[in-house]
Amino acid sequence: MKAYSLGIICLLPVALQAQSVPVRHVIVYKEAGRFGGWPANHGAWAWGNELLVGFEAGYFHRNEQGHAIDYTKPAEHVLARSLDGGRTWKIERPETLRVPPGVKQANVPAVAGVHTAVPFTGSINFTHPDFAMTWRMANIHTGPSRFYYSYDRGKTWQGPYEAPSFGTKGIAARTDYLVNGPRDCTVFLTAAKQNGKEGRVLCARTRDGGRTWKFLSYVCPEPEDYAIMPSSVRLGPRTILTTLRRRLWIEAWRSEDDGLSWTFVTRPVESTGGGNPPSLVRLRDGRLVLTYGYRSEPYGIRARISHDNGNTWGSDLTLRQDGGAWDLGYTRTLARPDGKLVTVYYYNDNKDKERYIAATIWEPPAK
* Side-chain-side CA neighbours of residue 20 (13 Å): 3
288 DSSP β-pair partners: 282, 306
65-98, pLDDT tens digit by residue?
889 999 888 889 999 999 999 999 999 999 888 7
CATH T-level assignment (fold) for domain 9-362: Neuraminidase (2.120.10)
The pTM of the full predicted model, rounded to 2 decimals, is 0.91
> What pLDDT does 15 receive?
39
Please give the mean pLDDT across all residues of the chain.
Answer: 90
Neighbouring CB atoms inside 10 A of 326's CB total 19
- pLDDT tier, 63 (very low <50, low <70, confident <90, very high otherwise): confident
Is the C-alpha dihedral spanning 158, 98, 119, 40 positive or negative?
positive
Distances (CA, A) of 303 to 25, 55, 111, 355, 361: 15, 21, 37, 21, 13
pLDDT, position 138: 87
Mean pLDDT of 211-232: 98
Residue among 264, 318, 261 nearest 294 (CA): 318
Q: What pLDDT does residue 346 have?
A: 98
19: pLDDT strictly greater than 80: no
Would you say 321 and 299 are in contact if contact means Cβ atoms under 8 Å apart?
A: yes
Give per-residue pLDDT as tens, 249-279: 999 999 999 999 999 999 999 999 999 999 9
**Residue 115 or 116, more confident:** 116
pLDDT at 101 over 60: no
SS (H, E, C) 108-125: CCCCCCCCCCECCCCCCC
Whole-number Cα distances in Å, 361 to 39, 52, 191, 314, 343: 16, 14, 33, 20, 7
Say what the pLDDT of residue 21 is. 53
